[in-house]
Amino acid sequence: MTRDIMGDFQTQRQAASQMPYPSLKVRRDRLARLARMTQHHQLEIIRAIQTDFGQRSDVEIRMAEISAVIHAIRHAKRHLWHWMRPVSATMPLRLMPARARVTPQPLGVVGVMSPWNYPWSLALMPTVDAFAAGNVVMLKPSEHSPATSALLKRLVPQYFTPEELHVVEGGVEVAQHFSHLPFDHLVFTGSTAVGRQVAQAAAANLTPTTLELGGKSPAIVAGDANLDEAAAAIIFGKAMNGGQTCIAPDYVLVESRRISDLVKALSHAIQQQRPDDQAATQPINAIHQQRLEAMLAEAADHGCRVIDQGSHAPALIIDPHQDLQVMREEIFGRCLPVIGVSDMQAAIDYVNARPHPLALYAFTYEKGLQQQLLHETHSGALVFNATLLHHAVPSLPFGGVGESGMGAYHGRHGFERFSHMRSVFTQPKRNLSRMLYPPYRRWLMKLLGVG
C-alpha cells in the first residue's frame, strides 16, 4: 500500500512538472468538472453521508456540503483571471528604471487530508483553491466516513485523470504515510492533537502546512443583546450537524444577572428549531455518542443543572465546573455550557485565558464593545450577531490562530495560499546600476540614501 501511494505521488509530481503553469482555460475546466461531479451526483452524496451518520438532514447536506462547494467554484471561476495576473511592485527611485512584479506560481502537488464531519465539502473546498492556483491534488478522506470516502474514490476517476486528482483510502497507517509524503503543500482538517502529528511529519520534508483545527469557540452575549435573537443564532450554530462543526459555538458567556433569561430563550429556540429528532444529525459513531453522554453524566453528577430536551437536541449545562470534561475538551457535539460572568471585561478575560478559538461569536451592537473585542481578543474569525455564516463568504479567509490552526484559505486567500507569490525583478538594458558597484563613492552613496 505504501509503495502504491508513493507511486501515485510520483505520477502527480511528474504531471505537475510537465505542466508547471496551467492556463486559465485548464484551471477553469478542472473547476467545472469538480462542479459537475458534485451537481450530477447530489442524491448519491446525500445517501452516502446519511449512511455514514445514520441520520442527517438532507437540507443541511445540500446547504453545507453541496451548495458550499458549488458557490466556492463559481466564485473562483469568476475571479480567477484577476487572481492570476501579475501585480506590479513599487520601485524605489534609486533603482529606476528597473521594474518589479509579483507573479503567482503553482506550487505543484497539494495533499489534502479531510475530516469526517463534513466529508464532501471539506474534501473539495481545499481542492477548489488548489485547482484555481494551478496545482494537482492528492486527497486522503477520513476513514470514519467510509461511504462518502468510497463515493469519492469511485466518482473522481470518472471526471479526472490520476495526474490531476487522486483519492487515497485507508486508516491511520495510510494517513501517517500520507502525511510523510514530500508534498509542495499539505492541508489537514481535524483535531489539534492529530494536527500536531501531521505538522511534525510534514516538517521532515519542510512541507508547508495549512492546519484547520478548531478548539472551543465561545459565544459572548452582551448586556444590549436581544436574547431571543442571540439564542436563535446560537442554537442554529450548535445544532447544525449535531454540533459536529469546528466553528460551532462551544460554550456561552453571559452576565450572571441575565443567565436565567438566556437559558429560557435558548430552551425556546431549541423547541422552535429542533422540536423532535427527525431533522437531527446523529453522532458519527457509538464511541462519539458515548463520549457526549459521559460529558452530560459527569456534569449532572457534579451538581450542574442540565436541560436536555431530546437525545440529539442541544443540551444546556448551566455553570459547569471548569475541571469537567465538557470544559476541558472541544465538545464537538450537542452539549452547550452556559456560564455566568460578572461583566463583559470578565468575559473577555475568560476567553483570553484559554487557547485562541477558531471563531469568537459576540452578540452586541455597541460599537465600543465591538472595537474592544476586535483589539483585545484573538481568534480565527470574529463574528457579531450570527454564528457559522462567515464560513459562507468566499472572499473571507478561513483559518485559525495558535492552537485553532495555521494558515487560511477560501477564495483569493486560498489561491495565494496554494501559490508561490514569486518576486520578479527586471533590469532594462540601459540602467545606472553600475554606479552601485565598488569602488564606492561617498557622495554617490549619500545621494542614494545609503549610509
- Provide the annotated active-site residues: 212, 246
Backbone angles phi, psi at 224, to 5 degrees: -90, 0
Length of the chain: 451
Distance CA 112, CA 355 (A): 25
H/E element holding 211?
Answer: strand 209-212
Distance CA 220, CA 351 (A): 9
Q: What is the DSSP string of 78-119?
A: HHHHHHTS-EE-PPPGGGTT-EEEEEEEE-SEEEEE--SSST
Are 175 and 202 spatial neighbours (Cβ–Cβ below 8 Å)?
A: no
Q: Measured on CA atoms in the order 194, 196, 202, 207, is the torsion positive or negative?
A: positive
Q: Which of 264, 331, 250, 245 is nearest to 296 (CA)?
A: 331
What strands lie across the sheet with 87-88, from one edge to the other?
87-88, 99-106, 419-426
Q: Which of 143, 140, 116 is nearest to 281 (CA)?
A: 116
Q: Which of 337, 336, 364 is nearest to 348 (CA)?
A: 364
Backbone angles phi, psi at 282, to 5 degrees: -80, 155
Distance CA 59, CA 169 (A): 27
Helix axes 24-40, 42-53, angle to 10 degrees: 60
Q: Say if strands 109-113 and 136-140 run parallel, antiparallel, or are unpaired.
A: parallel
Helix/strand/coil for 343:
coil
Amino acid code (one letter) for 165: L
Distance CA 106, CA 206 (A): 17
Q: Which residues of 364-399 are buried (b: 16+ CB within 10 A; e: fewer)?
A: beeeebbebbeeebebbbbbbbbbbebbeebeebbb
Q: Which of 177, 172, 214, 179 is nearest to 193 (CA)?
A: 214
